[in-house]
Chains A and B, each alone.
Chain A
Amino acid sequence: MKKMILPVALGAAFAATALSAASAGTLEDVKERGKLRCAVSTGLAGFSYTDENGKWQGFDVDYCRAVAAAVLGDPDAVDFSPTTGKTRFTALASGEVDILSRNTTWTFSRDADLKFTFLGVSYYDGQGFMVKKSLGVASAKELDGATVCIQTGTTTELNLSDYFSANNMSYEPLSIETNTEGRANYLADACDVYTTDASGLAASRATFENADDHIVLPEIISKEPLGPLVRHGDDQWADIGRWVLNAMKIAEEKGITAANADDQAANSKDPEVKRLLGSSGEMGASLGLGNDFALVAIKAVGNYGEMFERHLGTQTKVNLARGLNATWTEGGLQYAPPFR
């Protein structure tokens, strides 16, 4: 029986990658299952977290609900998988989830080398630093020699290394796996600086007991366009994800909200609004969905602006201004291609 040990060990190794079988018809699979499987983060205030009732909430979570509403007609037909920065790509590549909506930065190598398709930018972000006020640091350029907490498996650790070597500074990295651990280490003074995307810093800071004792330094050291992504090889599924996101941005431009969507669909004179909400044309059908897919999605979670204000905006604890994420008509970067 000694011989059996090797096959079993190999089996365990292969099973991890062998599960995949990226089938072409993700849409059919999702419809058949009646559930969308969506990977989110393990917990980041504003983006994805479970509320006191154990229900997933947040900006990234709502995008999944919008897709579920568009595809299945039910925003609650989602199985959420919490993933860490390390496990997310494996989860998506192996086919364990249908879509990854976990503040993930769109980069060349993730697109080309890891074989993923990014569906657009749901949040324009950049990497920043948070320090305790008591350190008396006013700029990231003063951080020479500091201990920095970083989440592993993210673009932040690469940016950090680049930034410090470009400025001829040294640092001691403390690599941690999740945002929760990062916060714990930072608060216990095991590191001087916590670095991640500025939105993540704001979200973490919002959960601190004495948020005012901490400041986010002014330097933003990277471009972090965050967005949802799917596997290469299923263009129909990618189009669905992309146009659900675009539909929500267009809805904001056109002033369509969760509350007035039905009314707009029935009474609007604007041809683009009518196409978007399915009251004219066969736009949804070409995606393999109902013509009213955008209407259902918007009714479920609201337009892009509503989603933002509900989870991240200045009225929330996270307290982020729209900034770059305002629509292009307001001077921001959120710009969806025309719906025609």
Chain B
Amino acid sequence: MNPVATPAAPHVHAPHVQPGEGEPGTVREHHDHHELGFLRKYVFSVDHKVIGLQFLFSGLVFLVLGGLMAMAIRYQLAWPWQPMPGLAWMFPATGGAITPEFYTMLFTMHGTIMIFFVMIPLLTGAFGNFLIPLMIGAPDMAFPKLNMLGYWTMIPAFFFILLGFFVEGGHAAGGWTSYPPLSTIESAAPGSLSGQTCWLMGLTWVGVSSMMGAVNYVTTIVKMRAPGLTMMRLPLSIWGLMITSLLQLFALPVLTAASIMQLLDRVLNTGFFTPTNLLVNNVTPDSFAYGAEAAAAGGQPLLWQHLFWFYSHPAVYILVLPAMGFTSDILAVHARKPIFGYKPMVYSMSAIAGLGFIVWGHHMFTSGMNPALGMTFMVSTVMIALPSAIKVFNWLGTLWGGRIHLRTPMLFACAFVSMFIIGGLSGIWMAATPVDIYIHDTYIVVAHFHYVVFAGSLFAIFAAIYHWFPKMFGRLMNETMGKIHFVGSFIFTNTTFYMMHQLGVAGLMRRTADPYAYDVYQQLQPINEFITLSAFCMFAWQIFFVANFFHSMFWGKRVGRNPWNAASLEWDAPSPPGHGNFDRELKVYRGPYEFSSPEVAEDYIPQTRAL
């Protein structure tokens, strides 16, 4: 029995407002959970830590799926139309070779899965859930049941996104951006038969889930902080997650509305995005798909692009802001230094989020949108590099003069800074409208967002897993294996993605199944081959992570509450924390980054220590 869960025990948040805390039923409910069986404890759990781990594991499973698709894409780009060795059984019709329609499906679903089923669930679902109550000293989320529902609405999302692979015509093949009319008209692509409907259903459910999560995160952070924990004493991870949740709250409804509109276009022929008088594959879509009596149209394909990017550009910051937060925390802890410029860090994250809402048009410079709009979007986009630059300088300032311990989480966090510099800087070219005329939809764009999301955010996720693993399972991950994992990942990530910049400068456009159909790209084959081999090595290298993760989960070195001598609140809880998280009363006296302070003998002061 956990003492925290009993009403008699000194509750960490006795003076704090908590929804339902005054009702004895709520507390008894917590109490009951511990006596329930495996199913209620690990499957239908309302405990934020278990839900976080559920998001973590499903995210990692989809990461493998998305990664396998990336390997197939790379294979095709290096050796187009060659049969993939050993995969003839999967593609009996072609003897293992990738067909063009399969290729379009591959990159569509690679992007979709990596963004909506891996990165967002890992950053906000897994770490948002796991870290928020622990780092603010709360026993759980504000709405534990809503939290559970947030994970369980992912189940229909998983169902539809996997179902799409098995329907006639295959899964959606209109790119992860799903631009209509390609995605809405059935005769336009095989993936637009039923695959696209599965895609839209899957995405809508992910949106509903993220929405529930975001409401919960914001409420929890605002209402349930431990006494003395002011907003300006929050760890930057929490700021990152808080701002991310606000972005989701404001931007997600737009995407959800847009995907429902596209769904209606597809099933009811509403024609929001479909112009009149199309002739697709010698079929007039009006009569083909829906019956001539429902031949409505007069829609606007650009409308989808505006709505889609109104969400999906802020989504890019949803993919990176929590990662910035984790990196800040990990750098400070392992460099034994207070974060350099805490307030500028918070302000710059807020500025990224604010500006993030007025830059979506930079995805549409060549789309036929009014070019005068392009001018304003260029200025806002270029200026968003400013808060990013401030963050980089502050990270460097944090390292400066520190006493750095190069453990695995620190290595990945430093790599995040290094890779984010590349991904951030390459964005400036894309913001510049005349330059973007040339590089839009080329491999520079591919290099850019993989440096931000893969080399950046995923490295930050690795850092976070290594860093918070002891809190999750009470055991350390193996350092030697972690370092091996880091060295290979760092090298192969760069050999994979760096040369894509040059491919883009050479004009190679993305999403093409066979670049060598054009004379102008003939000379790029050797480089693509090099990139593909690097990508294979990088994928294979992750075995060190998988082995280390599962081995350490059961046989790793046991550790106490605070293996890194960190100062923030989660390290005050037992490792792993029981139901209700904290077993002693918390009162916060200072910020989370009091490292190397001359006031005390040790090199850190926990947030809870009174001096």
To the question of whether A and B form a pair in one complex, the answer is: no
